[in-house]
Amino acid sequence: MLITAWLNWQKSYLFSNTRKMSSSKVYFTDLRAKPSQNLLKKLDNLVVRAGIDTIDFSKKIVAIKIHFGEPGNLSYLRPNYAARIVRMLKAKDATPFLTDCNTLYSGRRSNAPSHLEVAFENGYNPLSTDCPVIIGDGIRGNDCSEIKLDMEYCSTAKIGSAITASDVLISMNHFKGHEMTGFGGALKNLGMGCASVGGKLFLHSGASPEISEENCTGCRVCEKFCAHDAIAVGKDKIAHIDYTKCVGCGQCVAVCQYDSARVVWQSSSEIVCKRIAEYSWAVVKDRPSFHINFMMNISPDCDCWGYNDYPLVPDIGIAASFDPVALDKACADMVMAAPALPGSRIRHDHSNSDLTGQDKFKLAHPDTFWQAGLEHGVKIGLGRMDYELVTV
pLDDT in tens, 94-141: 999 999 999 987 789 989 999 999 999 999 999 999 999 999 999 988
Q: Are residues 228 and 354 in the same domain?
A: no
Instruction: Examine the domain organization and report whether 269 and 258 are in the same domain.
Output: no
Domain boundary among 263, 279, 294: 263
- The mean pLDDT of 287-306, rounded to a whole number, is 96
DSSP per-residue letters across 242-265: -TTT-----HHHHH-SSS-EEE--
Mean pLDDT of 159-173: 98
- Is residue 320 scored above 90 in pLDDT? yes
Cα Rg, the chain, nearest whole Å: 20
Calpha distance 328→264 (Å, rounded): 25
**387: pLDDT strictly greater than 90:** yes
pLDDT of residue 15: 47
The predicted pLDDT at position 348 comes to: 74
The vertex-202 CA angle with 197 and 205, nearest 5°, equals 120
pLDDT of residue 20: 46
- Number of CB atoms found within 10 A of residue 286's CB: 12
Together in a domain, 221 and 354: no
Q: Which ranges constitute the DSSP H helices of the chain?
A: 2-16, 39-49, 79-91, 112-121, 126-129, 161-164, 186-187, 197-204, 221-225, 251-255, 267-284, 324-337, 360-364, 371-379
Can you name the residues that pair with 159 across neighbouring β-strands?
Answer: 145, 195
Pair 134, 97: CB distance under 8 Å = yes
Provide the number of structural domains found in the chain: 2
Cβ pair 217, 258 in contact under 8 A: yes
Please compute the mean of the pLDDT values over residues 221-248 and round it to a whole number: 91
Domain of 252, CATH number, reads: 3.30.70.20
Q: Which DSSP category does 216 fall into? A: -
**Stretch among 26-30, 138-142, 183-187, 284-288 having the lowest mean pLDDT:** 138-142
Rounded to whole angstroms, how far apart are CA atoms 290 and 278? 17
pLDDT at 254: 64
Single residue among 245, 263, 281 that ends a domain in this structure:
263
Q: Compute the average pLDDT of residues 137-164.
A: 95
Q: Give the whole-angstrom CA distance, residue 82 versus residue 167.
A: 18
Instruction: Classify strands 239-241 and 231-233 as parallel, antiparallel or unpaired.
Output: antiparallel
Q: 70-85: per-residue pLDDT in tens?
A: 999 999 999 999 999 9
Can you give the pLDDT at residue 19?
Answer: 42
On whether the CB atoms of residues 69 and 29 are closer than 8 A, the answer is: no
CATH number at 276 reads 3.40.50.11440
Report the alpha-carbon distance of residue 302 to residue 391 in Å, rounded: 27
145, 202: one domain: yes
Q: What is the mean pLDDT of residues 6-16?
A: 52
pTM of the model: 0.85
Nearest Cα neighbor of 50 from 85, 100, 15 is: 85
The pLDDT assigned to 264 comes to: 61
Q: Kindly state whether residues 118 and 215 are assigned to the same domain.
A: no
Q: Are residues 144 and 232 in the same domain?
A: no
Chosen domain end from 234, 263, 292: 263
CA dist 82 and 67 (Å) reads 11
Could you tell me the residue range of the domain that residue 142 belongs to? 2-206+265-391
For residues 226 and 344, membership in a common domain is answered with: no
